[in-house]
A and B are shown apart, each in its own frame.
Chain A
Protein backbone atom coordinates (compact mmCIF):
# COMPACT_ATOMS: atom_id res chain seq x y z
CA UNK A 1 0.00 0.00 0.00
CA UNK A 2 1.25 3.48 -0.84
CA UNK A 3 1.49 5.18 2.56
CA UNK A 4 2.23 8.63 1.10
CA UNK A 5 -0.82 8.46 -1.14
CA UNK A 6 -3.08 7.22 1.66
CA UNK A 7 -1.98 9.97 4.07
CA UNK A 8 -2.23 12.67 1.39
CA UNK A 9 -5.67 11.57 0.27
CA UNK A 10 -6.85 11.06 3.86
CA UNK A 11 -5.90 14.60 4.91
CA UNK A 12 -7.29 15.98 1.64
CA UNK A 13 -10.60 14.23 2.33
CA UNK A 14 -10.73 15.77 5.79
CA UNK A 15 -9.73 19.30 4.85
CA UNK A 16 -11.43 19.50 1.43
CA UNK A 17 -14.72 18.06 2.62
CA UNK A 18 -14.67 20.64 5.39
CA UNK A 19 -18.37 20.83 6.14
CA UNK A 20 -19.01 17.14 6.63
CA UNK A 21 -15.64 16.50 8.31
CA UNK A 22 -15.92 19.42 10.71
CA UNK A 23 -19.54 18.57 11.50
CA UNK A 24 -18.43 15.05 12.39
CA UNK A 25 -15.49 16.39 14.45
CA UNK A 26 -17.84 18.82 16.24
CA UNK A 27 -20.24 16.01 17.19
CA UNK A 28 -17.23 14.01 18.37
CA UNK A 29 -16.21 16.99 20.51
CA UNK A 30 -19.67 17.19 22.08
CA UNK A 31 -20.01 13.49 22.87
CA UNK A 32 -16.44 13.19 24.12
CA UNK A 33 -16.91 16.27 26.28
CA UNK A 34 -19.75 14.44 28.03
CA UNK A 35 -17.42 11.47 28.58
CA UNK A 36 -14.71 13.87 29.77
CA UNK A 37 -16.95 15.62 32.27
CA UNK A 38 -18.02 12.28 33.73
CA UNK A 39 -14.40 11.15 33.87
CA UNK A 40 -13.41 14.40 35.57
CA UNK A 41 -16.18 13.89 38.14
CA UNK A 42 -14.87 10.40 38.79
CA UNK A 43 -11.34 11.74 39.31
CA UNK A 44 -12.66 14.33 41.74
CA UNK A 45 -14.47 11.61 43.65
CA UNK A 46 -11.38 9.39 43.67
CA UNK A 47 -9.32 12.25 45.10
CA UNK A 48 -12.04 12.91 47.67
CA UNK A 49 -12.13 9.21 48.58
CA UNK A 50 -8.34 9.16 49.00
CA UNK A 51 -8.55 12.24 51.19
CA UNK A 52 -11.24 10.67 53.38
CA UNK A 53 -9.35 7.38 53.55
CA UNK A 54 -6.18 9.15 54.64
CA UNK A 55 -8.13 10.33 57.69
CA UNK A 56 -9.41 6.83 58.42
CA UNK A 57 -8.33 5.63 61.85
CA UNK A 58 -8.52 2.35 63.69
CA UNK A 59 -9.14 2.82 67.40
CA UNK A 60 -8.11 0.12 69.84
CA UNK A 61 -9.92 0.54 73.20
CA UNK A 62 -7.84 -0.64 76.13
CA UNK A 63 -8.59 -1.95 79.57
CA UNK A 64 -7.89 0.67 82.31
CA UNK A 65 -4.72 -1.08 83.47
CA UNK A 66 -3.16 -1.62 80.02
CA UNK A 67 0.30 -0.26 79.22
CA UNK A 68 -0.71 2.09 76.43
CA UNK A 69 2.80 3.39 75.58
CA UNK A 70 4.13 -0.17 75.33
CA UNK A 71 1.23 -1.20 73.11
CA UNK A 72 1.81 1.77 70.76
CA UNK A 73 5.38 0.57 70.22
CA UNK A 74 4.18 -2.97 69.51
CA UNK A 75 1.39 -1.85 67.16
CA UNK A 76 3.79 0.28 65.14
CA UNK A 77 5.79 -2.83 64.25
CA UNK A 78 2.66 -4.35 62.62
CA UNK A 79 2.32 -4.30 58.85
CA UNK A 80 -0.12 -1.66 57.59
CA UNK A 81 0.25 0.72 60.53
CA UNK A 82 1.99 4.04 59.94
CA UNK A 83 1.76 5.52 63.43
CA UNK A 84 -0.11 5.17 66.65
CA UNK A 85 -0.96 7.65 69.42
CA UNK A 86 -2.16 6.87 72.89
CA UNK A 87 -5.20 8.73 74.21
CA UNK A 88 -5.89 8.56 77.94
CA UNK A 89 -9.41 8.44 79.46
CA UNK A 90 -9.06 12.07 80.51
CA UNK A 91 -7.96 13.23 77.07
CA UNK A 92 -10.82 11.32 75.48
CA UNK A 93 -13.33 12.95 77.83
CA UNK A 94 -11.90 16.38 77.09
CA UNK A 95 -12.28 15.77 73.35
CA UNK A 96 -15.82 14.56 73.89
CA UNK A 97 -16.59 17.71 75.83
CA UNK A 98 -15.32 19.82 72.93
CA UNK A 99 -17.38 17.82 70.45
CA UNK A 100 -20.55 18.31 72.51
CA UNK A 101 -20.01 22.07 72.70
CA UNK A 102 -22.84 23.72 74.63
CA UNK A 103 -24.25 20.33 75.61
CA UNK A 104 -21.00 19.44 77.40
CA UNK A 105 -22.66 20.27 80.73
CA UNK A 106 -24.59 17.02 80.41
CA UNK A 107 -21.35 15.18 81.20
CA UNK A 108 -21.24 16.80 84.66
CA UNK A 109 -23.97 14.48 85.91
CA UNK A 110 -21.66 11.50 85.49
CA UNK A 111 -19.90 10.33 88.64
CA UNK A 112 -16.96 8.87 86.84
CA UNK A 113 -15.33 9.03 83.38
CA UNK A 114 -16.93 6.26 81.26
CA UNK A 115 -14.45 6.54 78.40
CA UNK A 116 -11.66 3.96 78.27
CA UNK A 117 -8.09 4.76 77.27
CA UNK A 118 -7.37 4.04 73.62
CA UNK A 119 -4.75 3.95 70.86
CA UNK A 120 -5.49 5.63 67.52
CA UNK A 121 -3.76 4.04 64.55
CA UNK A 122 -3.06 5.58 61.14
CA UNK A 123 -2.97 3.08 58.27
CA UNK A 124 -0.97 2.72 55.07
CA UNK A 125 -3.15 3.21 51.91
CA UNK A 126 -3.14 -0.49 51.03
CA UNK A 127 -4.59 -1.37 54.45
CA UNK A 128 -7.65 0.80 53.95
CA UNK A 129 -9.74 -1.95 52.40
CA UNK A 130 -12.48 -3.83 54.25
CA UNK A 131 -10.67 -7.19 54.11
CA UNK A 132 -7.39 -5.77 55.42
CA UNK A 133 -9.23 -3.95 58.19
CA UNK A 134 -10.93 -7.17 59.27
CA UNK A 135 -7.55 -8.94 59.41
CA UNK A 136 -5.96 -6.08 61.36
CA UNK A 137 -8.84 -6.04 63.85
CA UNK A 138 -8.29 -9.75 64.56
CA UNK A 139 -4.57 -9.16 65.09
CA UNK A 140 -5.09 -6.25 67.48
CA UNK A 141 -7.59 -8.18 69.59
CA UNK A 142 -4.90 -10.77 70.26
CA UNK A 143 -2.87 -8.25 72.30
CA UNK A 144 -3.27 -8.25 76.08
CA UNK A 145 -5.02 -5.12 77.26
CA UNK A 146 -7.05 -4.59 74.04
CA UNK A 147 -10.77 -4.88 74.82
CA UNK A 148 -12.29 -3.72 71.57
CA UNK A 149 -11.30 -2.44 68.13
CA UNK A 150 -13.38 0.13 66.27
CA UNK A 151 -13.25 0.96 62.55
CA UNK A 152 -15.69 3.16 60.60
CA UNK A 153 -16.42 0.57 57.95
CA UNK A 154 -19.67 2.23 56.95
CA UNK A 155 -17.96 5.32 55.61
CA UNK A 156 -15.57 3.19 53.60
CA UNK A 157 -18.41 1.05 52.28
CA UNK A 158 -20.52 4.04 51.28
CA UNK A 159 -17.64 5.70 49.50
CA UNK A 160 -16.83 2.53 47.59
CA UNK A 161 -20.48 1.98 46.62
CA UNK A 162 -20.77 5.54 45.36
CA UNK A 163 -17.56 5.16 43.41
CA UNK A 164 -18.74 1.93 41.76
CA UNK A 165 -22.03 3.57 40.78
CA UNK A 166 -20.16 6.47 39.23
CA UNK A 167 -17.76 4.17 37.38
CA UNK A 168 -20.77 2.21 36.07
CA UNK A 169 -22.36 5.46 34.89
CA UNK A 170 -19.05 6.40 33.24
CA UNK A 171 -18.97 3.11 31.35
CA UNK A 172 -22.63 3.48 30.32
CA UNK A 173 -22.11 7.04 29.09
CA UNK A 174 -18.97 6.00 27.24
CA UNK A 175 -20.88 3.19 25.51
CA UNK A 176 -23.84 5.38 24.67
CA UNK A 177 -21.90 8.33 23.31
CA UNK A 178 -19.43 5.95 21.70
CA UNK A 179 -22.27 4.36 19.77
CA UNK A 180 -23.51 7.75 18.57
CA UNK A 181 -19.95 8.80 17.66
CA UNK A 182 -19.52 5.64 15.58
CA UNK A 183 -22.84 6.33 13.82
CA UNK A 184 -21.83 9.92 13.10
CA UNK A 185 -18.50 8.85 11.62
CA UNK A 186 -20.26 6.22 9.53
CA UNK A 187 -22.57 8.86 8.10
CA UNK A 188 -19.72 11.32 7.49
CA UNK A 189 -17.71 8.62 5.72
CA UNK A 190 -20.75 7.63 3.66
CA UNK A 191 -21.16 11.24 2.55
CA UNK A 192 -17.48 11.46 1.68
CA UNK A 193 -17.68 8.23 -0.31
CA UNK A 194 -20.79 9.35 -2.21
CA UNK A 195 -19.13 12.68 -2.87
CA UNK A 196 -16.09 10.96 -4.31
CA UNK A 197 -17.73 7.99 -5.97
CA UNK A 198 -16.40 9.07 -9.39
CA UNK A 199 -12.82 9.23 -8.21
CA UNK A 200 -13.07 5.92 -6.38
CA UNK A 201 -14.46 4.25 -9.50
CA UNK A 202 -11.66 5.76 -11.58
CA UNK A 203 -8.91 4.55 -9.24
CA UNK A 204 -10.60 1.17 -9.06
CA UNK A 205 -10.63 0.89 -12.86
CA UNK A 206 -7.00 1.96 -12.94
CA UNK A 207 -6.04 -1.01 -10.78
CA UNK A 208 -5.57 0.63 -7.40
CA UNK A 209 -5.75 -2.01 -4.66
CA UNK A 210 -9.09 -1.99 -2.77
CA UNK A 211 -7.21 -1.58 0.51
CA UNK A 212 -5.44 1.53 -0.80
CA UNK A 213 -8.79 2.88 -2.00
CA UNK A 214 -10.40 2.45 1.39
CA UNK A 215 -7.52 3.50 3.64
CA UNK A 216 -7.88 7.29 3.10
CA UNK A 217 -11.42 7.11 4.51
CA UNK A 218 -10.13 5.41 7.64
CA UNK A 219 -7.51 8.18 7.94
CA UNK A 220 -10.30 10.74 7.58
CA UNK A 221 -12.26 9.02 10.37
CA UNK A 222 -9.15 9.06 12.58
CA UNK A 223 -8.67 12.77 11.86
CA UNK A 224 -12.28 13.46 12.87
CA UNK A 225 -11.83 11.50 16.10
CA UNK A 226 -8.53 13.21 16.89
CA UNK A 227 -9.80 16.76 16.27
CA UNK A 228 -12.99 16.06 18.20
CA UNK A 229 -11.07 14.70 21.19
CA UNK A 230 -8.67 17.66 21.24
CA UNK A 231 -11.61 20.09 21.32
CA UNK A 232 -13.31 17.96 23.99
CA UNK A 233 -10.11 18.07 26.08
CA UNK A 234 -10.20 21.87 25.91
CA UNK A 235 -13.87 21.93 26.95
CA UNK A 236 -13.24 19.64 29.94
CA UNK A 237 -10.23 21.71 31.00
CA UNK A 238 -12.36 24.88 30.84
CA UNK A 239 -14.97 23.08 32.97
CA UNK A 240 -12.26 22.29 35.52
CA UNK A 241 -11.12 25.93 35.57
CA UNK A 242 -14.68 27.07 36.25
CA UNK A 243 -15.01 24.60 39.12
CA UNK A 244 -11.51 25.13 40.53
CA UNK A 245 -12.54 27.78 43.16
CA UNK A 246 -14.81 25.10 44.69
CA UNK A 247 -12.29 22.30 44.46
CA UNK A 248 -9.46 23.65 46.55
CA UNK A 249 -6.24 21.83 45.83
CA UNK A 250 -7.64 19.20 43.46
CA UNK A 251 -5.45 19.10 40.37
CA UNK A 252 -6.48 18.52 36.74
CA UNK A 253 -5.77 14.90 35.73
CA UNK A 254 -4.10 15.99 32.46
CA UNK A 255 -2.59 12.72 31.19
CA UNK A 256 -5.42 10.50 32.35
CA UNK A 257 -8.01 12.65 30.57
CA UNK A 258 -5.86 12.86 27.44
CA UNK A 259 -5.82 9.06 27.33
CA UNK A 260 -9.56 8.81 28.08
CA UNK A 261 -10.52 11.29 25.34
CA UNK A 262 -7.96 10.77 22.57
CA UNK A 263 -7.98 6.96 22.81
CA UNK A 264 -11.74 6.48 22.40
CA UNK A 265 -11.82 9.39 19.88
CA UNK A 266 -9.43 7.52 17.60
CA UNK A 267 -11.17 4.19 18.20
CA UNK A 268 -14.64 5.61 17.43
CA UNK A 269 -13.32 7.39 14.31
CA UNK A 270 -11.63 4.23 13.09
CA UNK A 271 -14.67 2.03 13.85
CA UNK A 272 -17.17 4.39 12.21
CA UNK A 273 -15.23 4.89 9.00
CA UNK A 274 -14.23 1.22 8.87
CA UNK A 275 -17.86 0.07 9.15
CA UNK A 276 -18.99 2.54 6.47
CA UNK A 277 -16.25 1.36 4.12
CA UNK A 278 -17.05 -2.30 4.72
CA UNK A 279 -20.63 -1.56 3.72
CA UNK A 280 -19.39 0.11 0.52
CA UNK A 281 -18.89 -2.27 -2.36
CA UNK A 282 -16.62 -1.58 -5.29
CA UNK A 283 -18.67 -1.80 -8.45
CA UNK A 284 -17.96 -4.55 -10.90
CA UNK A 285 -19.40 -2.19 -13.51
Chain B
Protein backbone atom coordinates (compact mmCIF):
# COMPACT_ATOMS: atom_id res chain seq x y z
CA UNK B 1 0.00 0.00 0.00
CA UNK B 2 2.74 2.47 1.04
CA UNK B 3 6.29 1.26 0.47
CA UNK B 4 9.57 3.13 0.83
CA UNK B 5 12.72 1.45 -0.47
CA UNK B 6 16.05 2.97 0.52
CA UNK B 7 14.64 6.49 0.57
CA UNK B 8 17.11 9.21 1.51
CA UNK B 9 16.87 12.97 1.42
CA UNK B 10 19.50 15.66 1.75
CA UNK B 11 19.09 19.34 0.97
CA UNK B 12 22.85 19.88 0.57
CA UNK B 13 25.89 17.54 0.56
CA UNK B 14 26.41 18.03 4.27
CA UNK B 15 22.72 18.31 5.18
CA UNK B 16 21.28 14.81 5.23
CA UNK B 17 17.77 14.80 6.64
CA UNK B 18 16.84 11.20 6.04
CA UNK B 19 19.16 8.19 5.77
CA UNK B 20 18.13 5.02 3.96
CA UNK B 21 14.53 4.53 5.00
CA UNK B 22 12.70 1.30 4.34
CA UNK B 23 9.07 1.24 5.35
CA UNK B 24 6.10 -0.89 4.44
CA UNK B 25 2.58 0.05 5.48
CA UNK B 26 0.10 -2.66 4.57
CA UNK B 27 -3.41 -2.04 3.29
CA UNK B 28 -5.72 -1.13 6.15
CA UNK B 29 -2.82 -0.70 8.57
CA UNK B 30 -2.32 2.29 10.88
CA UNK B 31 1.29 3.33 11.41
CA UNK B 32 2.58 6.11 13.64
CA UNK B 33 5.94 7.75 13.04
CA UNK B 34 7.09 9.34 16.26
CA UNK B 35 10.12 11.54 16.62
CA UNK B 36 11.37 14.78 18.05
CA UNK B 37 10.90 18.04 16.18
CA UNK B 38 13.29 18.36 13.22
CA UNK B 39 14.08 14.65 12.71
CA UNK B 40 12.50 14.69 9.25
CA UNK B 41 8.94 13.41 9.80
CA UNK B 42 7.37 16.13 7.65
CA UNK B 43 10.02 15.66 4.97
CA UNK B 44 9.20 11.97 4.90
CA UNK B 45 5.46 12.69 4.66
CA UNK B 46 6.06 15.15 1.81
CA UNK B 47 8.14 12.57 -0.04
CA UNK B 48 5.37 10.00 0.36
CA UNK B 49 2.89 12.55 -0.97
CA UNK B 50 5.01 13.36 -4.01
CA UNK B 51 5.42 16.93 -2.84
CA UNK B 52 9.17 16.57 -2.42
CA UNK B 53 11.48 14.39 -4.53
CA UNK B 54 13.78 12.01 -2.65
CA UNK B 55 17.55 12.19 -3.18
CA UNK B 56 17.49 8.44 -3.66
CA UNK B 57 15.21 5.47 -3.30
CA UNK B 58 11.76 4.52 -4.49
CA UNK B 59 8.33 5.30 -3.12
CA UNK B 60 5.22 3.33 -3.93
CA UNK B 61 1.83 4.63 -2.81
CA UNK B 62 -1.29 2.64 -3.67
CA UNK B 63 0.95 0.59 -6.00
CA UNK B 64 2.03 3.69 -7.95
CA UNK B 65 5.70 4.63 -8.29
CA UNK B 66 5.42 8.23 -7.08
CA UNK B 67 8.67 9.57 -8.56
CA UNK B 68 7.78 8.38 -12.08
CA UNK B 69 4.37 10.08 -12.20
CA UNK B 70 3.71 13.11 -14.37
CA UNK B 71 1.39 16.00 -13.39
CA UNK B 72 -1.77 14.13 -14.35
CA UNK B 73 -0.66 10.88 -12.74
CA UNK B 74 0.28 12.64 -9.53
CA UNK B 75 -3.07 14.44 -9.37
CA UNK B 76 -4.85 11.11 -9.91
CA UNK B 77 -2.90 9.51 -7.05
CA UNK B 78 -3.51 12.45 -4.73
CA UNK B 79 -7.24 12.13 -5.29
CA UNK B 80 -7.02 8.74 -3.61
CA UNK B 81 -4.98 10.03 -0.68
CA UNK B 82 -6.13 12.38 2.09
CA UNK B 83 -3.66 14.60 3.89
CA UNK B 84 -3.58 16.83 6.93
CA UNK B 85 -0.65 19.21 6.62
CA UNK B 86 1.44 20.28 9.58
CA UNK B 87 0.75 23.91 8.64
CA UNK B 88 -2.98 23.11 8.15
CA UNK B 89 -3.37 25.17 4.93
CA UNK B 90 -6.96 26.35 5.07
CA UNK B 91 -8.23 29.18 2.86
CA UNK B 92 -8.56 32.11 5.26
CA UNK B 93 -11.07 34.05 3.16
CA UNK B 94 -13.51 31.15 2.75
CA UNK B 95 -15.93 29.80 5.37
CA UNK B 96 -15.17 26.43 6.91
CA UNK B 97 -17.89 24.67 4.90
CA UNK B 98 -16.51 26.05 1.65
CA UNK B 99 -12.98 25.06 2.66
CA UNK B 100 -14.09 21.45 2.69
CA UNK B 101 -16.68 21.54 -0.10
CA UNK B 102 -14.62 23.49 -2.65
CA UNK B 103 -11.88 20.88 -2.77
CA UNK B 104 -14.51 18.21 -3.40
CA UNK B 105 -16.04 20.32 -6.16
CA UNK B 106 -12.64 20.86 -7.72
CA UNK B 107 -12.19 17.11 -7.65
CA UNK B 108 -15.37 16.68 -9.67
CA UNK B 109 -18.22 16.35 -7.13
CA UNK B 110 -21.41 18.26 -7.85
CA UNK B 111 -22.12 21.35 -5.73
CA UNK B 112 -24.88 19.58 -3.76
CA UNK B 113 -22.90 16.41 -3.18
CA UNK B 114 -19.81 18.35 -2.11
CA UNK B 115 -21.84 20.39 0.36
CA UNK B 116 -23.61 17.37 1.78
CA UNK B 117 -20.34 15.48 2.26
CA UNK B 118 -18.62 18.52 3.74
CA UNK B 119 -21.46 19.01 6.25
CA UNK B 120 -21.37 15.34 7.22
CA UNK B 121 -17.62 15.29 7.87
CA UNK B 122 -17.64 18.61 9.68
CA UNK B 123 -20.25 17.15 11.98
CA UNK B 124 -18.06 14.07 12.50
CA UNK B 125 -15.17 16.22 13.72
CA UNK B 126 -17.52 18.38 15.80
CA UNK B 127 -17.19 21.51 13.69
CA UNK B 128 -20.67 21.77 12.16
CA UNK B 129 -21.56 24.70 14.44
CA UNK B 130 -18.64 26.66 12.96
CA UNK B 131 -19.26 25.92 9.30
CA UNK B 132 -20.07 29.53 8.39
CA UNK B 133 -17.01 30.96 10.15
CA UNK B 134 -13.74 31.73 8.45
CA UNK B 135 -10.55 30.00 9.65
CA UNK B 136 -9.12 33.22 11.14
CA UNK B 137 -12.02 33.18 13.61
CA UNK B 138 -11.06 29.71 14.87
CA UNK B 139 -8.39 28.36 17.19
CA UNK B 140 -5.53 26.33 15.69
CA UNK B 141 -7.02 23.19 17.19
CA UNK B 142 -10.35 23.87 15.50
CA UNK B 143 -8.53 24.50 12.22
CA UNK B 144 -6.82 21.13 12.59
CA UNK B 145 -10.24 19.50 12.92
CA UNK B 146 -11.45 21.25 9.75
CA UNK B 147 -8.31 20.09 7.92
CA UNK B 148 -9.04 16.53 9.09
CA UNK B 149 -12.65 16.83 7.85
CA UNK B 150 -11.35 18.08 4.50
CA UNK B 151 -9.00 15.10 4.19
CA UNK B 152 -11.69 12.61 5.24
CA UNK B 153 -14.36 14.10 2.98
CA UNK B 154 -12.38 12.87 -0.01
CA UNK B 155 -13.07 9.37 1.34
CA UNK B 156 -9.48 8.41 0.61
CA UNK B 157 -7.90 4.97 0.40
CA UNK B 158 -4.92 6.20 2.38
CA UNK B 159 -4.61 9.01 4.91
CA UNK B 160 -1.41 10.92 5.70
CA UNK B 161 -1.46 12.95 8.90
CA UNK B 162 1.39 15.29 9.75
CA UNK B 163 1.11 16.41 13.38
CA UNK B 164 -2.67 16.29 13.14
CA UNK B 165 -3.45 16.88 16.82
CA UNK B 166 -0.61 19.13 17.94
CA UNK B 167 -3.01 21.86 19.09
CA UNK B 168 -5.79 19.68 20.52
CA UNK B 169 -6.38 18.96 24.19
CA UNK B 170 -6.39 15.39 25.41
CA UNK B 171 -10.18 14.96 25.24
CA UNK B 172 -10.39 16.28 21.68
CA UNK B 173 -7.40 14.17 20.73
CA UNK B 174 -9.14 11.02 21.99
CA UNK B 175 -12.29 11.97 20.03
CA UNK B 176 -10.32 12.38 16.82
CA UNK B 177 -8.42 9.14 17.40
CA UNK B 178 -11.78 7.38 17.88
CA UNK B 179 -13.04 8.83 14.60
CA UNK B 180 -9.86 7.83 12.79
CA UNK B 181 -10.14 4.35 14.35
CA UNK B 182 -13.57 4.01 12.72
CA UNK B 183 -12.21 5.19 9.37
CA UNK B 184 -9.29 2.80 9.66
CA UNK B 185 -11.65 -0.02 10.61
CA UNK B 186 -13.50 0.58 7.34
CA UNK B 187 -10.26 -0.09 5.46
CA UNK B 188 -8.44 3.25 5.14
CA UNK B 189 -4.69 2.95 5.56
CA UNK B 190 -3.22 5.60 7.86
CA UNK B 191 0.33 6.90 8.13
CA UNK B 192 0.61 9.55 10.83
CA UNK B 193 3.52 11.55 12.19
CA UNK B 194 3.69 13.09 15.64
CA UNK B 195 6.37 14.55 17.90
CA UNK B 196 4.53 13.82 21.11
CA UNK B 197 5.12 10.77 23.22
CA UNK B 198 2.48 11.67 25.77
CA UNK B 199 -0.30 9.97 23.84
CA UNK B 200 1.81 6.88 23.21
CA UNK B 201 -0.13 4.76 25.72
CA UNK B 202 -3.40 5.09 23.84
CA UNK B 203 -2.14 5.25 20.27
CA UNK B 204 -3.71 2.61 18.08
CA UNK B 205 -1.67 0.87 15.38
CA UNK B 206 2.03 0.18 14.87
CA UNK B 207 4.42 2.76 16.31
CA UNK B 208 7.78 3.46 14.70
CA UNK B 209 10.45 5.76 16.04
CA UNK B 210 12.26 8.14 13.67
CA UNK B 211 15.62 9.12 15.11
CA UNK B 212 18.71 10.54 13.41
CA UNK B 213 17.15 10.23 9.99
CA UNK B 214 16.37 6.53 10.24
CA UNK B 215 13.56 4.36 11.54
CA UNK B 216 14.22 2.35 14.72
Contacts and interface: CB of A to CB of B under 8 A. Distances in A.
B105 A207 contact: no
A2 B78 CA distance: 17
Interface stretch (B33-41, B107-115, B173-181, B188-196): B107-115
Interface residues of A, number: 22
Contacts of A8: 105
B107 A2 contact: yes
Given A208-B75, A282-B71, A203 B51 contact: no
Contacts of B91: 199, 202
B135 to A, nearest CB: 12
Query: A205, A208, A210: which has the most chain B beta carbons within 10 Å?
Result: A205
Nearest to B46: A285
Interface in A173-223: 198-199, 202-210, 212-213
Contacts of A205: 49, 51, 78, 83, 85, 89
Interface in B73-125: 75-81, 83, 85, 89, 91, 102-103, 105-111
B53 interface: yes
Contact of A285 (B52, B71, B81, B103): B52
A206 B78 contact: yes
B216 interface: no
A202 B88 CA distance: 10
Given A2-B107, A2-B108, A284-B51, A207 B71 contact: no
A241 B128 CA distance: 59
The DSSP consensus for interface residues of chain A is: helix
Contacts of A248: none
Given A202-B89, A207-B76, A210-B72, A2 B51 contact: no
Contacts of A198: 89
A5 B52 CA distance: 28
A209 B106 CA distance: 8
A213 B109 CA distance: 15
Contacts of A2: 105-109
B176 to A, nearest CB: 20
A213 B72 CA distance: 11
Contacts of A209: 72, 75-76
Contacts of A203: 103, 106
B51 A4 contact: no
Contacts of A212: 106
B105 A4 contact: yes
22 contacts: A2-B107, A2-B109, A5-B102, A5-B106, A198-B89, A204-B75, A205-B49, A205-B89, A206-B78, A207-B75, A207-B154, A208-B103, A208-B107, A209-B72, A209-B75, A210-B71, A212-B106, A284-B51, A284-B53, A285-B46, A285-B51, A285-B52
Interface of A: 1-2, 4-5, 8-9, 198-199, 202-210, 212-213, 282, 284-285
